Chain A
């Protein structure tokens, strides 16, 4: 399990990097304190993974690196691209500065906590 730095910039998502990429399957679960994103990124080592928040967009960008023997010829390929890419638009109550990511066995887990003011609060009912 390894923690990943999440970079943040306020620029608009760059239009560069439009080479065709695989769309990794994801699970997105929301609980009271935040949102967790799980993404399947098999074959991606930690140093080829890039998780970043650009403006209001969460971007996952990763590159596949397989150790392939020299002179191998592919005879059947279901994974034909070497890049994964997926983007999500965050909503306002999420705190983009506290995004945390970890990669383990080819599964990326990104935790986006809700900003403190957006966390649920129990409102006491005053009895007159």
Chain B
């Protein structure tokens, strides 16, 4: 019978379990651009009049976040500087979990949005992009004569 070369590889086993758990929680199929549970995390919501995108991007200079809308695809990119600098010899880094470096996330938006009516604001580390839907796409009440 075949036996693993490293029968005691607990870490690999934990890793595999974690992936399985992750997949069982994600009931929807992943996007073609992957799960990308990276930085910044994204929440997307919609109202009848707009599409709201929240990017959780703490510790970034708002002037250095690049938000682009091109053919219905919203791109958020930028760079976050590390708070932990390796050049300080006297400092010891005990934990280093926070993201640093360049980031880029992409959301494809519904077809009825108005590319001219986009509003982006940054507050408490959250970038909020609000895209209005076209007025012609909104439900309208028609008066009966």
Contact = CB atoms under 8 A, between A and B. Distances in A.
Interface stretch (A12-20, A34-42, A110-118): A34-42
A106 B58 contact: yes
A28 B93 contact: yes
B37 interface: yes
B46 A40 contact: no
Contact of B59 (A65, A77, A105): A105
B43 A106 contact: no
A27 B126 contact: no
Contacts, number: 118
Interface residues of A, number: 35
Q: How large is the interface on B (under 10, 10 to 19, 20 to 34, 35 or more residues)?
A: 35 or more
Contacts of A72: 45-47, 52
A11 interface: no
A128 interface: no
A29 B93 contact: yes
Interface in A25-78: 25-32, 35, 38, 40-45, 65-78
Interface of A: 25-32, 35, 38, 40-45, 65-79, 104-107
